Amino acid sequence: MSVERVLWEEDATGLAGLVQKGELSPQELVDAAIARAEATRPDINAIAEPLYDAARARARTVDRTLPLAGVPFALKDLGIGLKGVPIHGGSRIPAFTADYNSVMVERHLAAGLIPIATSTSPEHGLRLMTESAAFGITRNPWNTGHTTGGSSGGAAALVAAGVVPAAHASDGGGSIRVPSACSGLVGLKTSRGRVPLTPLTSESWFGMIVDHAVARSVRDSALLLDLT
Would you please indicate which residues are annotated as catalytic (active-site) residues?
76, 151, 175
Which of 167, 163, 205, 161 shows the shortest CA–CA distance to 187? 167
196/178 Cα distance (integer angstroms): 22
Q: Measure the CA–CA gap between 11 and 167, rounded to whole angstroms.
A: 11
Q: How far apart are CA 18 and CA 13, in angstroms?
A: 9
The one-letter amino acid at 99: D
Neighbours of 163 (CB within 10 A): 31
Phi, psi of 198 (to 5 degrees): -70, 155
- Which residues lie below 8 Å from residue 68, measured CB to CB, with a gap of 6+? 12, 13, 16, 111, 112, 113, 223, 224, 227
d(CA 170, CA 177): 9
